Chains A and B, each alone.
Chain A
Amino acid sequence: MCSRWRQESVTVTAIVNTSMQIQEERQGDVQIITIDDHLDTSTATLFEARLLGMIDRGTRRILLDCTALSYVNSAGLKVLLLATKKLEPFHGELILCSLSQNVLMIFEMIGFTRIMKIVPDRETALKLFTQLPVS
């Protein structure tokens, strides 16, 4: 199922609005999404459409690189929660990496660190994916 996606990385950039950019790139069967700036009420709707659309099209391994993400609120967290729940029946995985201190604080406060796989960097995340059973 994933063989179709085992190709060289492809980068697609979409400018959502001034406060967020979503970049997609593929590494093996892992879809890497890079988001920046604010994941809040104004950007959550589009991010939700992209992320959930990806899962609907069969993507099961998603790495969300949050290096450049400076803020997330409950609307953005809702999208992450929704994606996680959507992947569960397929044994898919959403891993977050490189969270800034500020974002990590929010995650911790709300308890998202307890329900989401959060790793320090990409390498760790990709290694983690290889250790997971192939879906």
Chain B
Amino acid sequence: MARREAGHFEIELSRATKISEMVALGLEKGGFDTEAKVESYLCEVLKRNREIFGSCLAFEPHGFNPEKRWYAPYYYWKDEQPEFVQLGNPGYDYFHWEWYWAPKESGTAHWSEPYFDEGGGNTIMTTYSVPFRRDGKFWGIATIDIAMSQLIERASRIQVGRTGYAFIVSKQGRFLAYADKGRIMKSSIQEVNPELGRRMISGEDGFLRTQDPSTGRDAWIAFVPVQNGELSLAVVYPESELMKEALRQQVELLVLGISGLMVMFAAVILVARSISRPIRELAIAAQEVAAGRLDYKLSPNNTTVDEVRHLTFAFNKMTRDLQMRMEELRYTTTITERLQGELSGARSIQMSLLPKIFPAFPDRPEIDIHALIRPAREVGGDFYDFYFVDEHRLCLTIGDVSGKGIGAALFMAVTKTLLKSKSSAADPIDVIMRQVNREICQGGDTGMFVTLIYALLDTSTGRLELCNAGHLPPLIVTGAAGEVTPVHCQAGIALGLMREADYPITHVQLAPGDTLVFFTDGITEALDPDRNFYAALRLRASIEGSQEMPVQMLTRNLAQDVRNFTAGREQADDIAILALRWKGMEVETQAISA
């Protein structure tokens, strides 16, 4: 600031200096041979430069006019008019004045110490003197008087802070502009503050923490030379105020900083919350879902952050899908369980249709009978049945419905029931078969058919009548060696294939001790891991020599042998075995007689 102000002063003063240098140059060029010419030129200079107070051309003794010791025309402003005065006279022998001899001696321009002019200006003035020459010889001095009032006023207007100020001192330290007007021109800086004074006068610029020259308080003073050190401008800044200012700025900064931090913090919290809140909600939701509350929904409008919203959407979709899958699973499980339940119900019904209590006829010593069934699934299409149609005649049935599963089971139940209901002691078995076949054929085009053997054994005589509807013929274990022979029977067509079909009766006479073995193709067509059939040959070998074996052992052994043969392979078809041993009437007679 001090430097900026000094700059202003420099500019103003240097303008003035230019004028006197110009005047001096004008004189040196010559052409001013008469006093009148010199004076009119001087007057012209003054008129053209309103900012200067006065201008003088002071010549050496007898320098201009050999007859005149003094010749120093001086023009100055008086009441807005250029006024002329001849300075030199015996009373004002200007050659001894500083403004004259100083530049003469040094040969360079000179600034006079400011002074209070009482003659015309009544103001503080400074004189700028420039020597001029003629033919290389010193000829005189051109001066310009500059009123310093403007500078002083300007300096006094400088306001530093609230109580700070600026002041100007001359080269000798006298106050030109000062807060205390009474001290101007009368007092010097050295008297008030010697250290500051010394440094200011020496033409330095600097910055000093010292006492305020006017108040004695601590102050920061910046000083800078003006016009090559002719003047020195100082700016006083009271420390208290400086500190206050600094403090104020500090506080302001602090407040600004803190409030800025707070705003930032708030913003960060806000942003963090807007992100973290939905995520927190997601976490809660995840726990809820994990606890099984699949209907827990998140609002996607809770956030403006796209990623979080997408996450929310994805989460909701996940729970929705999960819920759907769970319901599907629950439904499927329910259905499966129900089906399973129904299947096992069907199985127990189907099994209940078959006689399963053995020995079946404890009061009939002439016969031993045993049967077993092994459906490949819960329910199957194989079946057997036996019952007495009158006192002596035992009806035997074994059948195999095409296909497996529920359909086969139903068809089997129908067939078995039909057979039993049609069975009577009165009708021949081929008639019964034809009737049953017709009934079954009415069932429509389900493609279902059943192969079966329907047999009637007179337990008193051992006479066996049988009808074969496309079934595998039974085997007879006979003789002391337990030889196995198939029953050669005339084959009829399977039931359900053709509406008008005949089922010729085959007659067989059993010998006492003969064992009849009925079976279904689940036995002969059981496959081993190498896909070989169990086959009739193996079946015959299995039961050969079993004439003494209890029938239940025969059937079980046979079933076990088949199971061993398949060696863990899934049972492909239903298996049914029915074994009947006729012991002959003698046994009966013996039992009765006993």
Contact: B404 with A78, CB < 8 Å? no
Contact: B404 with A79, CB < 8 Å? no
Docked CA distance A109–B451 (Å): 9
How many contacts between A and B, using CB within 8 angstroms?
Answer: 78
10 contacts between A and B (CB under 8 A): A41-B376, A71-B525, A74-B381, A74-B400, A74-B401, A82-B447, A85-B447, A109-B472, A110-B449, A111-B498
User: Whose C-beta in chain B lies nearest to the C-beta of A114?
Assistant: B493
Question: A78 and B525 in contact (CB under 8 A), knowing A110-B470, A111-B470?
Answer: no
Contact: A110 with B447, CB < 8 Å? no
Residues of chain A with a CB closer than 8 A to B404's CB: 41, 75
Residues of chain A with a CB closer than 8 A to B561's CB: none
Residues of chain A with a CB closer than 8 A to B531's CB: 19, 38
Residues of chain B with a CB closer than 8 A to A79's CB: 447
Contact: B403 with A111, CB < 8 Å? no
Q: Looking at the complex, which one of A73, A77, A109 makes contact with B449 (CB distance below 8 Å)?
A: A77
Contact: B521 with A73, CB < 8 Å? yes
Let me know if A56 is at the binding interface, CB within 8 A.
no
Contact: B449 with A81, CB < 8 Å? yes
User: Chain A CB within 10 Å — which of B445, B498, B501 has the most?
Assistant: B445
Docked CA distance A53–B445 (Å): 16
Let me know if A12 is at the binding interface, CB within 8 A.
no
Contact: A111 with B491, CB < 8 Å? yes
Let me know if B448 is at the binding interface, CB within 8 A.
yes
Let me know if B494 is at the binding interface, CB within 8 A.
yes
Contact: A110 with B403, CB < 8 Å? no
Contact: B493 with A111, CB < 8 Å? yes
Let me know if A121 is at the binding interface, CB within 8 A.
no
Residues of chain B with a CB closer than 8 A to A108's CB: 491
Per CB-CB distance, the 4 closest pairs between chain A and chain B, nearest first, are A111-B493, A82-B447, A110-B470, A78-B402
Docked CA distance A71–B573 (Å): 14
Contact: A110 with B448, CB < 8 Å? no
User: Whose C-beta in chain B lies nearest to the C-beta of A38?
Assistant: B531
Residues of chain A with a CB closer than 8 A to B471's CB: 109-110
10 additional contacts (CB under 8 A) given A71-B533, A79-B447: A41-B376, A41-B573, A44-B403, A78-B448, A81-B402, A82-B445, A108-B491, A110-B470, A114-B501, A115-B498
Interface on chain B toward A: helix, strand, loop, or mixed SS? loop
Q: How far is the CB of B448 from chain A (nearest CB, A)?
A: 7
Let me know if B492 is at the binding interface, CB within 8 A.
yes
User: Whose C-beta in chain A lies nearest to the C-beta of B520?
Assistant: A74
Contact: A75 with B447, CB < 8 Å? no
Q: Which of A107-122 contact B (CB under 8 A)?
A: 108-112, 114-115
A interface residue count range (under 10 / 10 to 19 / 20 to 34 / 35 or more):
20 to 34
- Residues 372-403 of B, flagged 1 when their CB comes within 8 A of A and 0 if not, give 00001000010000000000000000001111
Let me know if B192 is at the binding interface, CB within 8 A.
no
User: Whose C-beta in chain B lies nearest to the C-beta of A79?
Assistant: B447
Q: Which of A26-45 contact B (CB under 8 A)?
A: 38, 40-42, 44
Q: How far is the CB of B28 from chain A (nearest CB, A)?
A: 129
Residues of chain B with a CB closer than 8 A to A41's CB: 376, 403-404, 572-573
Residues of chain A with a CB closer than 8 A to B494's CB: 110-112
Residues of chain A with a CB closer than 8 A to B469's CB: 111
- Residues 81-120 of A, flagged 1 when their CB comes within 8 A of B and 0 if not, give 1100110100000000000000000001111101100000
Let me know if B45 is at the binding interface, CB within 8 A.
no
Docked CA distance A133–B448 (Å): 29
Let me know if B242 is at the binding interface, CB within 8 A.
no
Docked CA distance A79–B381 (Å): 16
Let me know if B406 is at the binding interface, CB within 8 A.
no
- Residues 560-594 of B, flagged 1 when their CB comes within 8 A of A and 0 if not, give 00000000000011000000000000000000000
* Residue positions of B touching A, CB distance < 8 A: 376, 381, 400-404, 445-449, 451, 469-472, 491-494, 497-498, 501, 521, 525, 531, 533, 572-573
Contact: B521 with A111, CB < 8 Å? no
Docked CA distance A74–B401 (Å): 8
User: Whose C-beta in chain A lies nearest to the C-beta of B521?
Assistant: A73
Contact: B447 with A81, CB < 8 Å? yes
Q: Looking at the complex, which one of A38, A82, A110 makes contact with B493 (CB distance below 8 Å)?
A: A110
Residues of chain B with a CB closer than 8 A to A77's CB: 402, 449
Docked CA distance A40–B469 (Å): 20
User: Whose C-beta in chain B lies nearest to the C-beta of A75?
Assistant: B403
Q: Looking at the complex, which one of A38, A75, A78, A111 makes contact with B501 (CB distance below 8 Å)?
A: A111
Residues of chain A with a CB closer than 8 A to B572's CB: 40-42
Contact: A74 with B497, CB < 8 Å? no
Residues of chain A with a CB closer than 8 A to B445's CB: 82, 85-86, 88
- Residues 57-81 of A, flagged 1 when their CB comes within 8 A of B and 0 if not, give 0000000000000010111011101
Contact: A111 with B497, CB < 8 Å? yes
Docked CA distance A85–B470 (Å): 19
Residues of chain A with a CB closer than 8 A to B497's CB: 81, 110-112, 114-115
Q: How far is the CB of B96 from chain A (nearest CB, A)?
A: 141
Q: How far is the CB of A117 from chain B (nearest CB, A)?
A: 14
Q: Looking at the complex, which one of B401, B446, B492, B525 makes contact with A73 (CB distance below 8 Å)?
A: B525
Residues of chain A with a CB closer than 8 A to B381's CB: 74
Residues of chain B with a CB closer than 8 A to A114's CB: 493, 497-498, 501
Residues of chain A with a CB closer than 8 A to B493's CB: 110-111, 114-115
- Residues 1-43 of A, flagged 1 when their CB comes within 8 A of B and 0 if not, give 0000000000000000001000000000000000000101110
User: Whose C-beta in chain A lies nearest to the C-beta of B469?
Assistant: A111
Docked CA distance A112–B402 (Å): 13
Residues of chain B with a CB closer than 8 A to A115's CB: 493, 497-498
Docked CA distance A114–B533 (Å): 26
Docked CA distance A38–B572 (Å): 12
Contact: B446 with A109, CB < 8 Å? no
Q: How far is the CB of A96 from chain B (nearest CB, A)?
A: 15
Docked CA distance A74–B445 (Å): 16
Docked CA distance A111–B498 (Å): 9
Residues of chain B with a CB closer than 8 A to A110's CB: 449, 451, 470-471, 493-494, 497
Residues of chain B with a CB closer than 8 A to A73's CB: 521, 525, 573
Docked CA distance A42–B404 (Å): 11
User: Whose C-beta in chain A lies nearest to the C-beta of B401?
Assistant: A74
User: Whose C-beta in chain B lies nearest to the C-beta of A116?
Assistant: B497
